[in-house]
Amino acid sequence: MKDTELALRLRDPEQRTSAFTELVEAYKEPLYWQIRRMVLAHDDADDVLQNTFLKAWTGIDNFRGEAKLSTWLFRIAYNETLNFLERRRQTTSLDDENASAIASSLQSGPYFDGDETEIQLQEAIASLPERQRLVFTLKYYEELKYEDISERLGTSVGALKASYHHAVKKISSWFHDLE
């Protein structure tokens, strides 16, 4: 179902519940992976995903339709992820020493089936600043165009290209240091 049709159904009180169920089914997996690549742990990603859908449900009347429904959802997920990371940062700090431990939580998740290189890549990604980590994962894993990422995150294409470039350089340097 197209976003515009679903958005119309979400505005109709009689169809809202069934339309929202369809919305959850259509977007739970891509939203989960966007969140998971930022928070790394499966349980944390599930919590943030649930908060994302709660916020979408309570805010559906505020959806103005200026952007696609999917863009609106991904922006909510992004903001919820940043809120979660900020709360976590206030209680812990992420540095190079514990990036490996955090990345290993990814491999212990039920959906991870990667090899040693993938584990190392996840460790390198975990060491990136949050913004670079998000831009890298959206470009590398989801293979989104910069224009699509820009729409999702509300950031200029130039800033995204710079973030991606810096992320790639840091990851490359991380792998070089392993040798």
**Both tokens assigned to 53:** 């859908």
What confidence tier does 121 reach under pLDDT thresholds 50, 70, 90?
confident
pLDDT value, residue 97: 46
Please give the domain boundaries of the chain with CATH numbers for all domains.
Answer: 1-92 (1.10.1740.10), 128-179 (1.10.10.10)
The 3-state DSSP class for residue 179 equals: coil
How is residue 63 annotated by DSSP? Answer: -
pLDDT one-digit tens code per residue, 123-177:
888 888 888 888 998 888 888 899 988 888 888 999 999 999 999 999 999 888 8
- pLDDT tens digits along 111-120: 455 567 777 8
Per-residue confidence at 122, pLDDT binned at 50, 70, 90? confident
Distance separating alpha carbons of residues 148 and 125, to the nearest angstrom: 21
Measured CA distances, 98 to 105, 133, 174 (Å) = 11, 16, 14
pTM check: above 0.75: no
State the pLDDT at residue 96: 45
Integer Cα distance of 119 and 131 in angstroms: 20
